[in-house]
Amino acid sequence: MNNFLELNKHKFFLAFKILSLSFTVLFVILPMAISIANGDYPTWTLFISVFLLGSVIFPLFLVGMTYLTWLNKIWVKKKALNIQPFDELDRIGFATAYINEKSKWNFTEEIKEIVIDGYRIQFNVIMGFPSNIEFRALVKHPKVERERFMAFVASSKQDRIYLDIDSLIKVYSPKKVDNLTIEQLKAELIQFAQVMRLENFEPLDRK
């Protein structure tokens, strides 16, 4: 997980270029053009100051804040992976995987992933107060009657299973897993896959 910057340095550079170009147009070129059209010519000192602020300093600040936000998520994920039974995921078949590798707009992220009955189930964290652990299964929207689908959505919340775009998520609270063993976790994930199969959720291959 320490290679986040290496995986995304080209995406950070792209984000900086887009932000720099956008802020240059919005806060430098347009205001200066309007001022000149009104006969109010800015000094070179003002022009250079505004240009540096809009084109360099502000975009760097936003990119830096984004990076710090992701560093915090990585720290939370590492902390979660040190909590039993999640520190033993490798024992039940989880392996390192990467998501959003081909995306230009989403950061590539290192995760843990397992395939159960054809379903790719990904370990990650849901940032919040407090942060929770998620096991996200990538699925296609089932072709079933609306009433049955809504009944499934309502009943699954009791097991902390939630529907998201192209996925179902099983959520765990790090503060409520004291008695959960790695064997029990594996059994619950197998049951999770069985429920998806029973409810006609087809696996979706998406990264």
Is residue 37 over pLDDT 70?
A: no
Q: What band does 128 get if pLDDT is binned at 50, 70 and 90?
A: confident
Last residue of a domain, one of 51, 79, 107: 79
Last residue of a domain, one of 46, 79, 112: 79
Instruction: Give the mean pLDDT of 67-82.
Output: 91
* Residue 16 lies inside a defined structural domain of this protein: yes
32 pLDDT higher than 90: no
Quote the number of domains for the chain. 2
CA distance 70 to 144: 38
Q: Given a cut of 90, is residue 21 above it in pLDDT?
A: no
pLDDT of residue 206: 61
Range of 24-33, 38-47, 77-86 with top mean pLDDT: 77-86
Given this model, what pLDDT does residue 123 score? 96
Domain match, 60 and 11 both = yes
Choosing from 79, 96, 122, the residue where a domain stops is 79
Identify the domain containing residue 175 by its residue range: 88-198
Tokens of 61: 């600040």
Average per-residue pLDDT for the chain: 85
CA gap 138, 22 in Å, rounded: 35
Neighbours of 142 (CB within 10 A): 14
pLDDT at 194: 92
Q: Label residue 153 by pLDDT band (50, 70, 90).
A: confident
Question: Pick the residue with more confidence: 135 or 48?
Answer: 135
Nearest to 201 by CA among 173, 176, 166: 166
The structure tokens 């590492």 sit at 78
pLDDT in tens, 163-181: 888 889 999 998 888 889 9
pLDDT at 152: 74
Q: What percentage of the chain reaches a pLDDT higher than 90? A: 36
Helix axes 4-24, 58-80, angle to 10 degrees: 150
Span 121-139, average pLDDT:
90
Within 10 Å of residue 96's Cβ, how many Cβ atoms?
10
Higher pLDDT: 193 or 150? It is: 193
Could you tell me if 33 and 107 lie in one domain?
A: no
Residues 105 and 170 grouped into a single domain: yes
pTM above 0.75, yes or no: yes
